[in-house]
Amino acid sequence: MKYDVYAGGFHVVSSDLTVDFAKKTDYLLRLGAKTHGFLGDLAPWVGVFQTEGWYDAKKDFPQPRIHFSDTTFREDKELTEFFYNKDGSFKEYRVTNNEKDKPKDPPPTDDLTQGTTDVLTATSKVMQHIAQGGKCEGWDDIFDGKRRYKIIFGNSQQVDLKQSDYNVYVGPATECTIEVKPVAGKWHEKPRGWMSIQEQGRERGTMPTIWFAQMAPGEPAVPVKIRVKTEFGTLFMHLTHYSGQGKTITLPEED
């Protein structure tokens, strides 16, 4: 899948998502993103987030083996790796960056790490559940390297997405909200990052919202649209290309 993110009518982020459960014993999830256009000039950022893990097809249960985030902002590079055991326990956490003088964080404690998974795997569980006719619901605990939080999917409802010049998908979709709740670790008193965006949406009566749809039989439902309301306006992420199960749909090239 490929996506474009718009803010105030401007294309500001390009993204791609790969979902592969074909082996029935292993799975791969990969999300790439980079700033685009004027935002790319002002704040050049590139990120790749990937999970490889074990998959029990009979139980329909994914268990991460390794999850990493590889990000670059201007000249600053950072690779963060999370390792898990097959029984679901947390194994190890590593950070590599190009800041030689930056002090290393102490090893994370069990109250931050044990019983957690990664955010891509948590989302894939919901995607599989929806594809099997279930609702968009459920939660998982995530360790992000410094903090532990709960990601919650809920408020599921069925809708029909209309034709759009920005999105390739038209048809039935499952709409739900995403909420992050702090559990442990050092959280800022004043919300920052995603928490700030989330709370701005809450103040405006709309939590971050995602629409999932099954694009091909036997495939997980995938994100086809995301909406986030902020004090600066509303951000939309639109699906612009899909390829899977011999099916390909894409937006026509602009003149």
Sign of CA dihedral 130, 133, 135, 138: negative
Q: What is the pLDDT along the chain (255 residues), one digit of tens a residue?
A: 999 999 988 999 999 999 999 888 999 999 999 999 999 999 999 999 999 999 988 888 899 999 999 999 998 999 999 999 999 999 999 999 876 656 677 789 999 999 999 999 999 999 999 999 999 999 999 999 989 999 999 999 999 999 999 999 999 999 999 999 999 998 877 777 788 888 888 888 889 999 999 998 888 999 999 999 988 889 999 999 999 887 899 998 654
Tell me the whole-structure pTM to 2 decimals.
0.92
Q: Collect all residues with Cβ–Cβ distance below 8 Å to 218 and sequence separation of at least 6.
A: 245
Strand partners for 167: none
Domain locations in the chain as residue ranges: 2-250
Q: Give the model's pLDDT for residue 101.
A: 58
- 85: which 2 tokens? 């055991």
pLDDT score at 255? 42
DSSP, collapsed to helix, strand or coil, labels residue 63 as: strand
